[in-house]
Structure 1
């Protein structure tokens, strides 16, 4: 009888571990999508539906009549060692490297920390002793704050949608042809004209070349380039002899 119970407990525990692993992988994948992808609301709802279904499956296994009550089982540490345990690190995905005196109180506890438990007890006592009218006032105040936040989000969403629509319907003020022509003119000089009055590749104000004396085609004296105007002596000086 004991062997059958132990075997059934092992089967249930394996199924519980598998379902918990699937749930953990789904949560990790959903967190990764939230950090790296831009999800829309239907995709978010699909991921929440998947998580909800896995949690319900896990709860069905725990609530099954054939499932042994885990609360009746006691988990005790048999060996505590400060040395690294490779098998434990593998089972815990490198979260726990050694089962020592520091790890055991946190991983094998069945109650929260004393500070957390005391704070929770204070909140429970305060909620029990609170009067009904005071609780209703706090509920009304919280609802008012939530409604104001929702109205602000809705107004900002409408403004963003209107701005997006106006930007999409705005008339285009640029021309692709003009932009391409400007880029070609800047990069390769297409369409640019040279300055008027000077040939291409020559300076705009060339220096005058010095005149060279011309030689006659055949032998002889070089004709003088100075022009003379010889007049009669009588006309040149009034006291000529």
Structure 2
């Protein structure tokens, strides 16, 4: 009789099932894309290729998001080890692995349940680590400087636009229509017409005041320059006006006369 599963074990089973489902979808997409590359490469267009890459990228991102969720337990805290090894053919294992693994034997287990690199790869990594630690600091700094220069040159080459891009930009500027209007001027005209913005009002003319000094100066001016005080219409033969006027004295026209 098996012991009842704990809450953590149930959560692990649910998370693994969901992860297996996502990985299976990703595997089917990769298999279909490889089949088209091998058998239908003559009819595949560039937009179709980009569409396939977009599907694969979205599926990979969904797997990453699933691994980062709070419901997914930390898989690196668990250890996977075989319960039974047998050189005989296992039909259930063959079905689960789609014919890749026929039997769970001593030859297969080190490859499929490996948590460290292969011995050859591990040996080469160790040799490179020893070589890097034995180098002098000056030599290491020079190599880092050279690597930074090469990287900077590559970035400059990639970021600088090519000659074709410059030609396309120049042609687009030449083909562009010249500007025939100004939004700022249009707004100023609309504001002036509708609300009178920035329009100068005429200054009111000050009335002429005739004082006692002006009254004294008029007889003197008449004596000195009698010909300059003539009305301009008298010498030019001005036509009489058709409008008749009736001028009355202010004393007689006042409606409220005093007795």
Range 125-134 or range 14-23, more displaced: 125-134
Change in Cα spacing, 1:49 to 1:106, as seen in structure 2 (3 Å) is: same
1:36 to 36, 39, 48: 39
Q: How far is the alpha carbon of 1:33 from its aligned partner?
A: 1.0
When the two structures are aligned, how many residues end up with a matched partner?
147
Is 1:119 the counterpart of 2:118 in the alignment?
A: no
Give TM-score scaled by structure 1 length: 0.54
Task: For 1:126 and 1:48, locate their aligned partners in 2 and report how far apart those are by CA, in whole Å.
Answer: 38
Is 1:8 the counterpart of 2:20 in the alignment?
A: no
Q: Runs of 5+ in structure 1 lacking a partner?
A: 155-241
Task: For 1:28 and 1:126, locate their aligned partners in 2 and report how far apart those are by CA, in whole Å.
Answer: 40
Aligned to 1:22: 25
Task: For 1:51 and 1:68, locate their aligned partners in 2 and report how far apart those are by CA, in whole Å.
Answer: 25
Q: Aligned runs of 1:1-241 on 2, under 5 Å? A: 3-37=6-40, 38=42, 39-121=44-126, 126=132, 129=140, 131-136=143-148, 139=151, 143=154
Task: For 1:63 and 1:92, locate their aligned partners in 2 and report how far apart those are by CA, in whole Å.
Answer: 26
Q: How far is the alpha carbon of 1:114 from its aligned partner?
A: 2.1
Task: For 2:88 and 2:124, locate their aligned partners in 1 and report how far apart those are by CA, in whole Å.
Answer: 36
Task: For 1:76 and 1:49, locate their aligned partners in 2 and report how far apart those are by CA, in whole Å.
Answer: 36
Q: How far is the alpha carbon of 1:119 from its aligned partner?
A: 2.8
Deviations 1:104-153 (A, max 9, x none): 00000111112213334555665994622331465489x59x99xxx9xx
Task: For 1:53 and 1:16, locate their aligned partners in 2 and report how far apart those are by CA, in whole Å.
Answer: 15
**SS where residue 6 of structure 2 aligns?**
helix
Deviations 1:9-31 (A, max 9, x none): 11110010010000000001111
Give TM-score scaled by structure 2 length: 0.50
Q: How far is the alpha carbon of 1:66 from its aligned partner?
A: 1.3
Task: For 1:97 and 1:74, locate their aligned partners in 2 and report how far apart those are by CA, in whole Å.
Answer: 23
Task: For 1:122 and 1:135, locate their aligned partners in 2 and report how far apart those are by CA, in whole Å.
Answer: 22
**SS where residue 26 of structure 1 aligns?**
helix
Aligned to 1:233: none
